[in-house]
Amino acid sequence: MCELFAMSSTVPATVNYSLERIARHGGLTHANRDGWGIGYFEGRDVRLIKEPAPASDSPWVRFIAERELESHCVIAHVRWATQGGATLENTHPFERELAGRRHVFAHNGSLDDVEHTLPFESDRFRPIGDTDSEHAFCVLLQQLEPLRYGATEPPPLEARLETVASFAAEARLLGSANFLYSDGEVLFAHGHRRRYEEGGRMTEPRPPGLHMLSRRCAGASPEVDCDGLTVSVPKQDVALLASVPLTEDPWVALPEGVVVALKAGREVARIGP
């Protein structure tokens, strides 16, 4: 089963520790060997690194760790292919431009017959690969476009959250619809159902589909280490999202069907149970 991971923080931080853990899920301890990717937002753009190969022995993962790339918003994905081959165009996260800023999306699950159930209403966004996930992302952007992103400011949070939640409700009718999405300002996460590896076999989809860990990192020195995040200032808020808990810390399962919005390391809104 695919693995999702994301981070939102007050100021840029690295995610090397958590990246190593999710990389082990990408081929070393789990069956997710079909690709991986990670996106680091920098303002309205994103630094996206991905490849259609196991993350557990990837030189790119080691490169990222050595360079200690930082960001205030990170989205990562480790893939177990269920639709579409193990190719670069089918590797998550996916990104597109809308209103002069990059938008990034990663999905865990299967959306049956999404091409016919959620058809495109314009030619503005089209998939490059042949996954249900990328098709769904293009549909989401199609629904967000009427909100009219400004030249410098995105639409009101409430409008974006309602649109993402409406899209999530449509996706839930088609199958497992756990996803992460960000426009660089706010990180949105939808928890639904996922398969779990138990006794060498995969279970039927069941909640929870995502877990969240919120932390306030504090220290007297100008650099501290908090749950593997290298923090360059004494204090900041950090929120982590993952398919399964990555540490022994008190991760909280997201209720089935909830959509949360995170900004600067804090939950700022949610819709759902």
Can you point out the beta strands (E) in the chain? 3-13, 36-42, 45-51, 71-78, 94-98, 101-108, 178-182, 187-190, 197-198, 201-202, 211-218, 224-226, 229-231, 235-242, 252-253, 259-263, 266-271
Chain segment 146-196, per-residue pLDDT in tens: 997 776 789 999 999 999 999 999 999 999 999 999 999 999 999 999 988
Residue 3 to residue 21: CA distance in whole angstroms: 11
The band of 106, judged by pLDDT with boundaries at 50, 70 and 90, is very high
Higher-pLDDT residue of 142, 218: 142
Q: Mean pLDDT, the chain, as a whole number?
A: 86
Whole-prediction pTM: 0.91
Q: Which domain holds residue 42?
A: 3-271
pLDDT at 247 over 50: yes
| Catalytically annotated residue among 2, 73, 138, 217 | 2
pLDDT at 264 over 90: yes
Q: How crowded is residue 123: how many other Cβ atoms within 10 Å of its Cβ?
A: 6
Tokens of 91: 């590797």
Do 202 and 208 contact (CB within 8 A), yes or no? Answer: no
- The CATH number for 158's domain is 3.60.20.10
pLDDT computed for residue 27 by the predictor: 41
Can you tell me whether residue 75 is helix, strand or coil? strand
DSSP state of 154: P
Residue 98 to residue 137: CA distance in whole angstroms: 12
Catalytic status, residue 2: yes
**pLDDT average, residue stretch 130-139:** 97
List Cα–Cα distances, 165 to 32, 103, 182, in angstroms: 28, 16, 13
Query: What are the phi and psi torsion angles at 272 (to 5°)?
Result: 130, -165
One-letter-per-residue 3-state SS of 89-106: HHCCCEEEEECCEEEEEE
Nearest to 20 by CA among 75, 76, 72, 61: 61
Window from 97-101, 138-142, 181-185 with minimum mean pLDDT: 97-101
DSSP state of 6: E
Q: How many structural domains are present in the chain?
A: 1
